[in-house]
Amino acid sequence: MSDTRVNGILLFDGPDNNCFGCSPFNDRGLKLAWRRAADGEIEASYTAAPHLNGSPGIVHGGIQAVLLDETMGVAINHGQAPGAERFVVTAHFELDYRRPVPTGVPLLLRARQTGSEGRNYFVEGEICDAEGSALTRASARWVEVPPPANLAQIRGSN
């Protein structure tokens, strides 16, 4: 997946990207974009629309999981050299819903890689309110996998 860094914002804008979380081209997607923060963290600002409700005015728990899963994946990959790719997939994911996450207000998504061991990468993330208080926290283990055999075909570069 290609990415572009514009004014410190990391966008995954390759023409082959139709990801629900990060594609700027997916009309039904979240269109997330990140920036580097202090101490190797990745951050994104996001305001959830009302159609992402679970309960009225509260972001659906599954959408919260997607927001954190996407952000934690970027935290693993953000330090790579340009053009290098690491193919990682979520292997284990834990979520702690601490307080309701409201729709219609700015939220801060944050994640950081906390370690690695062989093909395993460990990350933590959180959804915070405007004051920086954690509303939802997650931790995960991701595993590096071989690139898809049909990667060139997927990218249209046959």
CATH number for region 41-154: 3.10.129.10
**Predicted model pTM:** 0.83
Question: CA–CA separation, 55 vs 95, rounded Å?
Answer: 18
Specify the range with the lowest mean pLDDT, choosing from 61-75, 77-91, 137-151: 77-91
User: So what's the pLDDT on residue 120?
Assistant: 94
Q: Which residues contact 29 (CB under 8 A, 6 or more apart)?
A: 18, 19, 20, 21, 22, 23
Beta strand 42-47 with 106-117 is: antiparallel
Kindly list the distances between the CA atom of residue 111 and the CA atoms of 25, 38, 71, 126, 144, in Å, as whole numbers in the listed order. Answer: 24, 11, 6, 6, 18
**Per-domain boundaries in the chain:** 41-154
Question: CA–CA separation, 34 vs 24, rounded Å?
Answer: 12
Coil, helix or strand at residue 81: coil
Question: CA–CA separation, 20 vs 152, rounded Å?
Answer: 21
Joined tokens for residue 48: 């959830």
Burial annotation 149-158 (CB, 10 A radius, 16+ → b, else e): eeeeeeeeee
pLDDT per residue as tens digits for the range 95-153: 999 999 999 999 999 999 999 999 999 999 999 999 999 999 999 999 999 887 765 55
